[in-house]
């Protein structure tokens, strides 16, 4: 008898993994999402984690990341485009809260630097939050990141559409099944009603025949 899959925990985040078929993939994804302090990730790894987001979060984070990369490509020597305060509302509300947001920035070369008193790149509402800095933009890496985001958006959209189509098909099948059962029930009710009607008509005919027999004086049976 084959043994059941052994349950284990992903080493990075402690997530329980019990499916033998998806064990390795789940462990890799779990670790990718949890290991924010590992060595610089690749763009492919970052995009893989981005794909784990819900549709709304995915749309927001990919739009922001694409804008960041494009601005740096257009203005490679302007610090305001290559510095991101981790305490800003835009970062915390659109990038940090999404899976893979920070990982993607690190993949294209951003590094975290602790804030210095009065240092550049720290907005007044960010306090002493660290700043993500892209000190030496690499045009090839940035372009690869931009193209990867475009491909991810296309792939994600295809998956969402496929899920929508599958959901619609399931709903249509369920509706058709309900109609079939309803029609079947109606058919049974109609058949029962017809049988009852025939039984009543036969009873009435028998009563009428009996009444006529009783009225016939020549009928002594």
Separation between Cα atoms, residue 146 and residue 25, nearest integer Å: 25
Q: Final residue of a domain: which of 115, 135, 161? A: 161
Any domain includes 168: no
Give the pLDDT band of residue 20 (cuts 50, 70, 90): very low
Q: Which helix (H) or strand (E) holds 199?
A: helix 139-215
- Is residue 4 over pLDDT 70? no
156 and 203 share one domain: no
CB atoms within 10 A of CB 189: 10
2 and 66 share one domain: no
Condensed to tens digits (0 to 9), the pLDDT of residues 49-79 reads 999 999 999 999 999 999 999 999 999 989 9
Task: Give the pLDDT score at 191.
Answer: 82
More confident residue, 218 or 183: 183
Q: Are residues 78 and 113 in contact, defined by beta-carbon separation less than 8 angstroms?
A: no
Query: What's the Cα-to-Cα distance from 5 to each of 2, 8, 27, 151, 152, rounded to whole Å?
Result: 9, 9, 14, 35, 33
44 and 95 share one domain: yes
64 and 114 share one domain: yes
More confident residue, 22 or 77: 77
Q: How many domains would you assign to the chain?
A: 3
Taking the whole predicted model, whether its pTM rises above 0.75 is answered as: no
Task: Give the pLDDT score at 21.
Answer: 40
Any domain includes 169: no
Task: Give the pLDDT score at 213.
Answer: 72
Any domain includes 170: no
Task: Give the pLDDT score at 29.
Answer: 57
Token pair in block for residue 168: 């619609």
| E-strand stretches of the chain | 8-9, 16-17, 83-85, 111-113, 131-133
Task: Give the pLDDT score at 58.
Answer: 96
Q: Are residues 107 and 145 in contact, defined by beta-carbon separation less than 8 angstroms?
A: yes
Task: Give the pLDDT score at 182.
Answer: 84
Q: Are residues 84 and 132 in contact, defined by beta-carbon separation less than 8 angstroms?
A: yes
Separation between Cα atoms, residue 30 and residue 49, nearest integer Å: 9
Task: Give the pLDDT score at 142.
Answer: 96
73 and 18 share one domain: no
110 and 144 share one domain: yes
107 and 31 share one domain: no
Which CATH number does the domain housing residue 106 bear?
A: 1.20.58.2190
137 and 51 share one domain: yes
Separation between Cα atoms, residue 212 and residue 209, nearest integer Å: 5
Give the pLDDT band of residue 46 (cuts 50, 70, 90): very high
- Domain hosting 22: range is 1-35
The percent of residues in the chain predicted with pLDDT above 70, rounded, is: 74
Condensed to tens digits (0 to 9), the pLDDT of residues 138-195 reads 999 999 999 999 999 999 999 988 888 888 888 888 888 888 888 888 878 888 888 8
Any domain includes 221: no
Among 97-111, 127-141, 193-207, the least confident range: 193-207
The conformational region for residue 59 under phi > 0 = left, psi -120 to 50 = alpha, else beta, is alpha
Task: Give the pLDDT score at 130.
Answer: 92
Any domain includes 114: yes
5 and 73 share one domain: no
68 and 80 share one domain: yes
69 and 93 share one domain: yes
CB atoms within 10 A of CB 27: 18
112 and 140 share one domain: yes
């Amino acid at each position: 008898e084959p043994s059941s899959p052994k349950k284990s925990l992903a080493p990075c985040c402690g997530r329980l993994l019990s499916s033998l078929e998806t064990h390795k993939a789940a462990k890799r994804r779990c670790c990718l999402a949890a290991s924010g302090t590992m060595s610089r990730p690749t763009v492919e790894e970052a995009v893989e984690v981005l794909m784990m987001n819900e549709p709304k979060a995915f749309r927001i984070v990919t739009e922001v990341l694409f804008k960041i990369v494009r601005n740096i490509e257009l203005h490679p020597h302007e610090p305001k485009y290559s510095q991101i305060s981790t305490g800003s509302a835009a970062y915390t509300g659109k990038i940090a809260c999404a899976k893979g947001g920070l990982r993607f920035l690190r993949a294209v070369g951003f590094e975290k630097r602790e804030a210095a008193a009065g240092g550049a790149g720290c907005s007044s509402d960010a306090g002493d939050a660290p700043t993500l800095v892209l000190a030496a933009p690499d045009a090839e890496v940035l372009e690869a990141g931009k193209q990867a985001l475009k491909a991810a958006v296309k792939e994600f959209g295809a998956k969402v559409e496929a899920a929508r189509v599958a959901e619609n098909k399931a709903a249509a099948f369920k509706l058709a099944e309900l109609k079939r059962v309803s029609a079947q029930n109606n058919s049974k009710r109609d058949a029962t009603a017809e049988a009852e009607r025939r039984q009543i008509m036969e009873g009435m005919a028998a009563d009428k025949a009996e009444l006529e027999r009783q009225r016939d004086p020549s009928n002594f049976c």
